[in-house]
Amino acid sequence: MFNTSCKDVIKILFDYRKNNLIYLIIPIIILYLMFFTTASADDTYSSPDGYTNSSPLIVSENAGNLSSQKPFASADAGDAVPSDLTSMRFSETPYDIIYHSIYKMNPNDIQFSLPNFSSSSNYNILNYNIGVPIKSGGLERYTEFRVKTSNDLQNAISSLKVTPTGLSKAKNISSSVQNDYQNSGLNIPGYNLGSEPSTPYFDSDNSKVYLSSMYLGNAHGGQGNISLRLNPVFISKSSKIYTYMFSNTLYKIQYQPTFEVLRILDYDALNGDQHNSYVLGQKQNDANSKISQSQQNIINKIQNLDSNLYSDDIKQTFINAANNIADNGRGDVNKLVNDTNNSKNYTNGVLDQINNKVAAIIDSLNNIINSYSLFKIISVPDFNFGQVSISSTNNIISLPSNTNAIIRSINSNNGWNLNLSISDLINDQNNQPLHADYLMNGNSYSPNDTIPYYNVSNSNNGDFSISKSPADNLQIKIPAGSARIGTYSGTATWTLKNDPL
């Protein structure tokens, strides 16, 4: 019994009249449909490949009340359904399946374009087409596109956009139905995932699946452009991107074919070597940029150091060290990148090596100033005791005024001590020694003994001034009867140690 009215059939045929059908064959077609077509909106047929009411060809429950027709009969052409088919129709084997319909479709009409790259391309941006060019004629046609990746790329998609092609051929598109399909739960959102994909669907193997559907109205076929951007991650030899699409009708008679397509982009199709070299090149540029920025930052800091503490010569030494560290670091990064490109051994370990190398270089640059230690006597006093009269008894001679010494310390956190050693004093008239002793802090020292002069337990950066009055400074103890007329002089030796007593 034929349940579809002639009015419906004539409506379809008039729609196809635009495609140059000859009026004379209309009665013949009508008779054929009336006597030989048995499909109906109540058809409960379940195809041999396992399509049921929960089939992925049925619009997602997130789409509300929308529903679709199941295939009316088994496949007319194409490949057998793979045995490893997942619930969302993915497989490790590409396939085409064309279901029974009144009008036939040649499997060769299904198009798939591999991503095309050039030397100036960003190799993490993929653009390709899949499907059958949209043509006018047909009723209530809709399509859906699904994209997923192999496990190693599950978190690699940063943006995904599906754009229908050939929509100018679609006719009588109901805006309400179109909005339902293109803004339903099938879309994340709409058919443009944008730069921040929303939570995708999950397949029966727990892999992420990105969906996009569109309503074509009175048309048939279905084709879309996939624009997919990957995060800067390496593609492995086993990496794959799976793209599935189907075209189906909401109308109760299957005039134009329902078909499914699965295509798989493998390492070669993804231009894996070029992609990985591009990712590595981006990493190289980023690494060298970070090194150069840190280099410039430390040079600016060096140039702004206190000139009273850091002479121009010291600053230039710092700058030379910064340039050498940065130049060697960039050279190491570039060599690692070149070696990897030559070996094509693209692993995350290479990226880790670059990250660790850059971190070490930046630490070295930042430590140039801190690792530099300056410990220097800027000035010490000349001990001039002046002209004195010596009695026949022991005499202790003090300096006539205060003395000052300056010690410069940079990054010397352990403290320091300043020691003094004085030779025996010699008379310039007879070259005879005075045989005097030296007194300091209540202690007596012989000529050439080490005399602790000053001690600091914690040293700050900068100049430290030591001021001593005659009472707490060096004194000379002259033995009775040893002094003669003349000028006595000797040599004072100062020793600065970066080690507090």
Rounded CA separation 110/222 (Å): 10
Between 32-36, 390-394, 445-449, the lowest mean confidence (pLDDT) is in: 32-36
Contact 470, 402 (CB under 8 A): yes
Is 323 a residue whose pLDDT tops 80?
yes
Q: Please state the rounded mean pLDDT for residues 187-191.
A: 33
For 42, list phi and psi in degrees, rounded to 5.
-95, 10
Domain 375-497, architecture per CATH:
Sandwich (2.60)
Residue matched to tokens 């339902």: 180
**One-letter amino acid identity for 458?**
N
Rounded CA separation 43/71 (Å): 10
Residue 253: its pLDDT value, please?
74
Region of 290 (left: φ > 0; alpha: ψ -120 to 50; beta: rest) is alpha
| Number of Cβ atoms within 10 Å of the Cβ of 100 | 18
Q: Please state the rounded mean pLDDT for residues 382-394.
A: 82
Rounded CA separation 172/338 (Å): 57
Between 114-123, 147-156, 277-286, 419-428, the lowest mean confidence (pLDDT) is in: 114-123
Q: Is the dihedral of CA 423, 425, 427, 433 positive or negative?
A: negative
Distances (CA, A) of 123 to 157, 234, 269, 277: 13, 11, 12, 9
Rounded CA separation 48/267 (Å): 33
Q: Which residues contact 145 (CB under 8 A, 6 or more apart)?
A: 130, 162, 191, 211, 212, 213, 224, 226, 243, 244, 245
Closest CA to 33 of 217, 257, 255: 255
Count Cβ neighbours within 10 Å for each residue of 423-456 and write b for 16 or more, e otherwise.
eebbbeeeeeebebbbbbeeeebebeeebebbeb
Contact 123, 117 (CB under 8 A): yes
Is 193 a residue whose pLDDT tops 80?
no
Give the E-state strand segments of 369-461 in sequence order. Answer: 374-379, 395-398, 403-410, 416-422, 426-427, 437-440, 443-445, 451-456
Closest CA to 453 of 464, 463, 465, 466: 466
Residue 33: its pLDDT value, please?
39
Looking from the CA of 275 toward its CB, the CA atoms found within 13 Å total: 23
Residue 86: its pLDDT value, please?
87
Between 41-50, 78-87, 126-135, the lowest mean confidence (pLDDT) is in: 41-50
Alpha helices in 233-347 (DSSP H): 272-303, 312-343
- Domain definitions of the chain by residue range: 39-270, 279-371, 375-497
Residue 182: its pLDDT value, please?
53
Burial of 295 from C-beta contacts in 10 A (0-12 / 13-18 / 19+): buried
Residue 174: its pLDDT value, please?
60
* Percent of the chain's residues with pLDDT above 90: 40
Angle at 446 between CA 441 and CA 447, to 5 degrees: 115
Q: Is the pTM of this model over 0.75?
A: no
Is 8 a residue whose pLDDT tops 80?
no
Residue 76: its pLDDT value, please?
62
Is 319 a residue whose pLDDT tops 90?
yes
Is 53 a residue whose pLDDT tops 70?
no
